[in-house]
Chains A and B, each alone.
Chain A
Amino acid sequence: MKRKLIAAIGAAGMLVSVAACGSDDGKSTGADGFKGQTLTVWAMDGSTPDGWSKDVKAAFEKKTGAKLKVEIQQWNGIQQKLTTALSEENPPDVFEIGNTQTPAYAQTGGLAELEDLKKSIGADWTETLNEPSVFDGKQYAAPWFAANRVVVYNKRVFKEAGVTGIPETRAELFEAFDKIKAKGKAEPVYMPGQNWYFFDGLTIGTGAELVKKKGDKWVSNLADPKVGEAMDIYKKYASYSTAPKDKDEATPQQGEVFAKGKTGAFIGMGWESGIAIKANPKIEKDIGYFTIPGDTADKPEGVFLGGSNLAVAAGSEKQELAKEFLKIALSDKFEGQLSKELGVIPNKESLQKNLQGQPAGEAAAPAVAGGGTTPLIPEWAAVENPPNPIKTYMTAVLNGKSHAAAAKQVEGEFNKRLAQKQ
């Protein structure tokens, strides 16, 4: 077919055609039958540090005799890319997928079922991290790693304002902000109006649900008082900041704002301090991290667990080999190594000790057990596409609208997105 079309067009000789990779792979499987095969793995940019990749590749190739090809994917347009790739004859065999996107993809039939893998290696996967991989009661992906937000703060600013000791409750944190504000030399916290994942964490903390079932349909639950409660906490944070109310934490990068040294703190991922250090190397010695404090000292604030899962394409011809890869990549040894190298939360609580010596990771870990995600329904994927109605809701409240009025304002859009055909 391919040759015919090229001939018809008559330009074949002039152009470079890149042969589909892996097309020469044999299809045989079995204990010793992996030789000569190549397993293609799609990992997102930034997920696979060099050392980890090298070691996993070596272990995999040694154990199976097959070759491993890790292809790094860019974030821009990844959804369209993944959807179309899964429809092809040679999809990537294993791929990284966002935890909140897993239900939507599981529902398409594009993901292979992994019940037996869960049984063999997943008995002690952290519950809150594994939840997104389960769809309709079945396992469709394996939790790989996660990350959650912490308070990244400027030790110097805190000290100069007379804050001693790390705030352990939300009230103590706000007290600290008050002191910094009174001092008048720095913005207590940088909190733009649409740091939506922080808000999502707050709703998890107050026990709010963003959607509810109405008949057989999911609809907005933003008018729920518990959502309002979370929004009030957010509003309190935002009141200490002069950041734009209609922008999220990436425009401008809050790390870059923080790098100027005139910001007390921001709520962000541990790696965001890297942005600050890149922009202003001198700030490195002033940076500290602590767990986002909740109502009481023993219960940290609710956090959104941004995570990555590993999934196997249903259309892959190398199911067994793919599972072999997962067993190696997700083994305690390599989970631990990844956690160490990337500073991310591993998929088992017992492995969290690998975060020792990594202040950001150590600050993040205590909140994992009480963390959560966005609603785990296939319909959710559409909600977060810009313009995310929840961000609109947040801006509206911060601009003075009542919770009810703001919830009402975005309800139509929210419900429309939830009602989309699958």
Chain B
Amino acid sequence: MTVQTERPDSRPAEVLKADGGERRAPRRTAAARARTTALAPYLLLFPALAATLLLLGWPLVKNGLLSFQNLNMRQLIQHLTEWNGIDNYAEVLASSEFWRVAVRSVLFTGANVVLIMIFGTLVGLLLARLGSKMRLTLLIGLVLAWAMPPIAGTTVFQWLFAQRFGVVNWVLDKLGFHSMADHNWLGTQFSTFAVVTLLIVWQSIPFVAINLYAATTTIPKELYEAASLDGAGAWTSFTSVTMPFLRPFLLATTFLEVIWVFKAFTQVFAINEGGPDRLTEILPVYAYIEGFGNQHFGMGSAIALLTIVILLALTSYYLRIVLKQEEDEL
């Protein structure tokens, strides 16, 4: 019955004591009981499955069909269906632009996720260490940042980094860096990415930190006590209790962040519209400009599906871990 530990280390008690092989032994009776309600899991899963098929599966199939059509303003308005085979895919895949953007997206996602995970984890662990008042203060700060509507967040960052009346340039100037008084943060690819990254990291840390903190609260205190009885210091108890316990959360959160950062559209688009010279366009911006902005909906659908494929490739490592660790059992 301990199958839920597809990630064996989410049961640190046992990790400390022994390897996973012995875990199942004392639970035989419970397993027998479970067999009598063999249908239960399917019943429990039914609503989720039905919703997914109806509300996601159906639109995805529709999207798939659209991706093989020439669907622009005219066809949409007149309800015309013009099949054009794999033209959309052929056109997208043949453009060097697409590949450049795809590679850039992957790098951008990687850099952001690494930063988000490192700082998010540190903030999460810090939350767990704080006294309750300070913790609430920081939590409120994090939630405020998280709750700020993307349009407002992005606009404020735009102001902060504005060339002429930006707070950042003003502060740098006052600090003595006079050459920065009129610095154009959005003038180059790297610098634009830096601003966007700062924004995304700032917006994403709260989720990781709060989630991670929530996870640490579920670590049974006894584990730490046991560890300290075994003579473990702060570092050892961190590496032998906290980390193993958090690993599945970290993996899962990384997985989610990869997906979200990869799909980040508002921030990149609003800050500099993918500029300068389209050099900071990432896939969703590309998909938007090509598909939605220009109202070439068939093309947009094709790009959407290609986006899923790339995401699959990016997350395949994690999906493989899950596949390996989950076991189908009767």
Residues of A with C-beta under 8 A to B13: none
Residues of B with C-beta under 8 A to A242: 164, 182
Query: What is the total number of residues of chain B having a CB less than 8 Å from a CB of chain A?
Result: 29
Among the listed stretches B2-10, B60-68, B113-121, B275-283, which one makes contact with chain A, having 4 or more residues with CB under 8 Å of it? B275-283
Given A246-B186, A252-B164: A387 and B77 interface contact (C-beta under 8 Å): no
B211 at the interface (CB under 8 A from A): no
Q: Contact check, A87 vs B294: say whether CB atoms are below 8 A apart.
A: no
Q: Which residue of A lies closest to B290 (CB)?
A: A420
Given A243-B164, A421-B72: A385 and B293 interface contact (C-beta under 8 Å): yes
Given A108-B73, A421-B72: A246 and B276 interface contact (C-beta under 8 Å): yes
Q: Contact check, A83 vs B73: say whether CB atoms are below 8 A apart.
A: yes
Q: For residue A122, give the distance in angstroms from its CB to the closest CB of chain B.
A: 25
Q: Which residue of B lies closest to A395 (CB)?
A: B276
Within residues 68 to 97 of chain A, which ones have a CB less than 8 A from any CB in chain B?
Answer: 79-80, 83-84, 86-87
Given A252-B165, A385-B289, A413-B278: A84 and B76 interface contact (C-beta under 8 Å): yes
A275 at the interface (CB under 8 A from B): no
Q: Contact check, B277 vs A392: say whether CB atoms are below 8 A apart.
A: yes
Within residues 158 to 185 of chain B, which ones have a CB less than 8 A from any CB in chain A?
Answer: 158, 162-165, 182, 184
A422 at the interface (CB under 8 A from B): yes
Question: Once A and B bind, how many residue pairs between them come within 8 Å at the CB atom?
Answer: 77
Residues of B with C-beta under 8 A to A108: 73-74, 77-78
B274 at the interface (CB under 8 A from A): yes
Q: For residue B255, give the distance in angstroms from its CB to the closest CB of chain A.
A: 31
Report how far A247 CA is from B295 CA in the complex, Å: 25
Query: What is the total number of residues of chain A having a CB less than 8 Å from a CB of chain B?
Result: 34
Given A252-B162, A420-B294: A244 and B77 interface contact (C-beta under 8 Å): no
Residues of A with C-beta under 8 A to B164: 242-244, 252, 257
A386 at the interface (CB under 8 A from B): yes
Report how far A83 CA is from B273 CA in the complex, Å: 23
A281 at the interface (CB under 8 A from B): no
A105 at the interface (CB under 8 A from B): yes
Residues of A with C-beta under 8 A to B35: none
Residues of A with C-beta under 8 A to B141: none
User: What is the 8 Å Cβ interface bit string for chain B, positions 242-276, against chain A (1 contact, 0 not)?
Assistant: 00000000000000000000000000000001111
Report how far A409 CA is from B276 CA in the complex, Å: 13
19 contacts between A and B (CB under 8 A): A80-B292, A80-B295, A87-B76, A87-B77, A107-B74, A108-B78, A242-B182, A244-B184, A246-B186, A246-B187, A246-B275, A382-B294, A385-B289, A385-B294, A386-B274, A386-B289, A386-B293, A413-B278, A422-B74
| A contacts, CB < 8 Å to B | 79-80, 83-84, 86-87, 104-105, 107-110, 242-244, 246-247, 251-252, 257, 315, 381-382, 385-387, 392, 395, 409, 413, 417, 420-422
Q: Which 3 A-B pairs have the closest CB atoms?
A: A108-B74, A386-B273, A110-B77
